């Protein structure tokens, strides 16, 4: 984790999700779990790449800090989650190390295998109930934001 990321409290998580309803469910579930995070959401794959690249309108790293991890949906407008993941892992700089967790409704083995082939660090399937989603996101926060040692990005 870089000095800029260490100074950002609470930790920043980039959520790449196009579905507004899913975002509201995720926010509600996260609010019910211990630990604080700063969730920054972008709606499509192109905006995710712009955010991570720091291009307009995301060039102000105080306002749009680099995340410690990214939650990435597969089915996105403009550029899919798989395309974002492929772009991320093909970078020539330290950004390619950003821990990325696929968070999607697809439980298809082909999608799971493809995500790991493109360099996903984990793959989580969105549960159908808010209770199960809350449990899942509580475990995510506990593991990814308290236990994992992050690389410099």
CATH of the domain at 69: 3.40.50.2300
Does the residue 153 lie in any domain? no
Edge to edge, what strands does the sheet with 122-125 contain?
Answer: 38-42, 12-16, 69-72, 100-104, 122-125
For residue 148, what pLDDT is reported? Answer: 85
Number of structural domains the chain divides into: 1
Does the residue 143 lie in any domain? yes
Q: What domain range is 12 assigned to?
A: 3-147
Does the residue 62 lie in any domain? yes
Q: What is the CA radius of gyration of the chain?
A: 14
Ranges of residues in the chain whose predicted pLDDT is under 50: 1-7
Query: Are the beta carbons of 17 and 40 closer than 8 angstroms?
Result: no
Q: Give the distance between the most distant pair of CA atoms in the chain.
A: 40
Does the residue 152 lie in any domain? no
Query: Are the beta carbons of 146 and 123 closer than 8 angstroms?
Result: no
Indicate left, alpha or beta for 134 from its phi (over 0: left) and psi (-120 to 50: alpha).
alpha
For residue 8, what pLDDT is reported? Answer: 53
For residue 146, what pLDDT is reported? Answer: 84
For residue 151, what pLDDT is reported? Answer: 87
For residue 1, what pLDDT is reported? Answer: 44
For residue 149, what pLDDT is reported? Answer: 86
**Each residue's pLDDT tens digit, 118-141:** 999 999 999 989 999 999 999 999
Which is it for the CA torsion 132, 137, 138, 139, positive or negative? positive
Does the residue 114 lie in any domain? yes
Is the whole model's pTM more than 0.95, yes or no?
Answer: no
CA-CA distance, 139 to 22, in Å (whole number)?
18
Does the residue 106 lie in any domain? yes
């Amino acid at each position: 984790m870089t000095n800029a990321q260490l100074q950002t409290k609470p930790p920043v998580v980039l959520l790449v999700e196009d579905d507004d309803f899913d975002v509201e469910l995720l926010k509600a579930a996260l609010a019910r779990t211990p630990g604080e995070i700063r969730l920054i959401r972008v709606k499509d794959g192109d905006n995710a790449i712009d955010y991570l690249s720091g291009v307009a309108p995301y060039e102000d790293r105080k306002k749009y800090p680099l995340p410690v991890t990214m939650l990435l949906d597969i089915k996105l407008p403009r550029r899919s989650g798989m395309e974002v993941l492929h772009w991320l892992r093909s970078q020539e700089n330290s950004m390619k190390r950003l821990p990325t967790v696929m968070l999607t409704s697809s439980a298809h083995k082909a999608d799971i295998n493809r995500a790991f082939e493109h360099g996903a660090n984990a793959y989580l399937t969105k549960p159908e109930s808010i209770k199960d989603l809350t449990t899942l996101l509580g475990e995510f926060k506990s593991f990814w934001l308290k236990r994992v040692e992050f690389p410099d990005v």
